[in-house]
Amino acid sequence: METKSSIKKQFNIILLTLYVLSLLITLPFIYYLSSKDVYESANKELILLVDMVSAMRKTISKDIRPELLRQEVVHPAAALSSTVFTRHTAQHFKKLQPDYYIKIASDNPLNADNSPLQLEQEILNYFRANRDEKKLVRKGSINGKQFLLSSSPSIAKPNCNICHLSPEKAPDYIAETYGKKSGYNYKMGDVVGASFVGVPLDDINNIAIQRGLSLAGVLTGLFTFALILINYLLKKKVFNPITEIAESTYAISNGAYDRVVNTEGDTEIAELAQSIERIRVSHKDILNKH
């Protein structure tokens, strides 16, 4: 019985070791797949949102502003400035989709609401140091939330002179609305701001934990079922027959030659039982002849 317990214990240890190794191998893989899935999904949404914002700005700059300037109409600002139009649109959009992020930021803004956050300022500095860069996509944290951000530089162009050249030359309503301290003295060709579009990166750790727990539950169920099934089969096919052979052999060794050894089955254990049974019959015949 001690040998039987030892074999069962060793077998169960091996199975449990395989279970632990399976978790150690699959959980990091699940984390990698979760990160990849979240990033790819966010990137698809980001491309769509960036195109939408770009289309809005082009509508102002190409379809609306030229005609208004031709008629010498310089108000309202939202109809002339793609930045103002985008800000107003972003405010409405945020009410519908609060998890997304749209902003035109500048460190010399007319509207203080467009002042850059730390990450936005870093990206502004990057565009100024890398004038050939037209787009930057990166992960970043804004107000404690993780985003996949797409940003592009805003370059001062001749039309910017209408509002940004100087307080004295700007339309009266610009100085009255925004003051005269910020948002002026733009130099043509300079990076004066950047557009930011962000889609939320769901908490990868939470997703990985959820998927990991699901996988761990499946693996635990499978290994538990396998452990119970294999232990049942071992008991029925191995340990019980061995126990019966051991008891029969012990009885025969003490002279109980009428004790028949059970030889049912077609396994190696059954072959062993058949060999012992032949020995028993032979010994019994020899004793009967004497």
Q: What pLDDT digit, counting tens, does each position of 101-135 carry?
A: 999 999 999 889 899 999 999 999 999 999 999 99
Q: In what order do the strands lie in the sheet with 145-155?
A: 101-105, 191-200, 145-155, 136-142
pLDDT tens readout for residues 237-272: 888 888 888 888 888 888 777 788 777 777 788 888
Of residues 131, 136, 105, 128, the one with CA closest to residue 118: 105
Phi, psi of 267 (to 5 degrees): -95, 175
Max distance between CA atoms of the chain, in angstroms, equals 136
> Does residue 196 share a domain with residue 101?
yes
Give the pLDDT confidence of 207-224 residue by residue, as tens digits.
Answer: 777 888 888 888 888 888
Residues 16 and 46 in one domain: no
- Token pair for residue 99? 């998890």
Q: Are residues 162 and 36 in the same domain?
A: yes
pLDDT band for position 79 (50/70/90)?
low
Average pLDDT value for residue range 53-80: 75
Of 204, 225, 240, the one marking the end of a domain is 204
Predicted confidence at residue 151, as pLDDT, reads: 93
pLDDT tops 70 at residue 3: no
Helices 2-58 and 82-96, axial angle in degrees (round to 10): 140
- pLDDT of 1 strictly over 50: no
Quick one: 77 and 150 in the same domain? yes
The reply to whether 55 and 197 lie within a common domain is: yes
Judgement on whether residues 187 and 236 belong to the same structural domain of the protein: no
Task: Cis check for the bond before 171: say yes or no (omega within 30 of 0).
Answer: no
Pick the more confident residue, 76 or 202: 202
Is 169 a residue whose pLDDT tops 90?
A: no
Q: What is the pLDDT of residues 8-23, one digit of tens each?
A: 778 788 888 888 888 8
Q: Domain residues for 137?
A: 26-204
Q: Cα(265)–Cα(271) distance, rounded to whole angstroms?
A: 8
**Pairwise CA distance, residues 149 & 46, whole Å:** 8
Q: Are residues 185 and 88 in the same domain?
A: yes
Q: Looking at the structure, do residues 111 and 101 belong to the same domain, yes or no? A: yes
Per the CB < 8 A criterion, the answer to whether 192 and 99 are in contact is no
* Contact call for residues 55 and 88 (beta carbons, < 8 A): no
Residues 12 and 107 in one domain: no
183-206 average pLDDT score? 87
- Please tell me the distance from the alpha carbon of residue 100 to that of residue 87, in angstroms, as a whole number: 13
* Confidence band, pLDDT 50/70/90 cuts, at residue 78: low
* Number of domains the chain contains: 2
186 neighbors 192 (Cβ within 8 angstroms): yes
Cα separations in angstroms, 181 against 172, 193, 254, 276? 14, 17, 112, 106
Strand (E) or helix (H) holding 266:
none
Are 196 and 214 part of one and the same domain? Answer: no
Instruction: In whole angstroms, give the CA distance from residue 72 to residue 143.
Output: 41
Check whether residue 44 and residue 153 sit in a common domain: yes
Amino acid identity at 135? K
* Structural domain ending residue among the three candidates 204, 223, 247: 204
pLDDT at residue 196 above 60? yes
Same domain, 253 and 169: no
First to last CA, the chain: 36
Tell me the pLDDT band of 35, cut-offs 50, 70 and 90: confident
Which CATH number goes with the domain that contains 150? Answer: 3.30.450
Cα 249 → chain centroid: 62
H/E stretch holding 199: strand 191-200
Select from 155, 188, 204 the last residue of a domain.
204
Per the prediction, the chain carries an average pLDDT of 84
Q: Residue holding tokens 């701001």?
A: 193
Contact 104, 87 (CB under 8 A): yes
Cα–chain center distance at 182? 42
Q: How many residues does the chain have?
A: 290
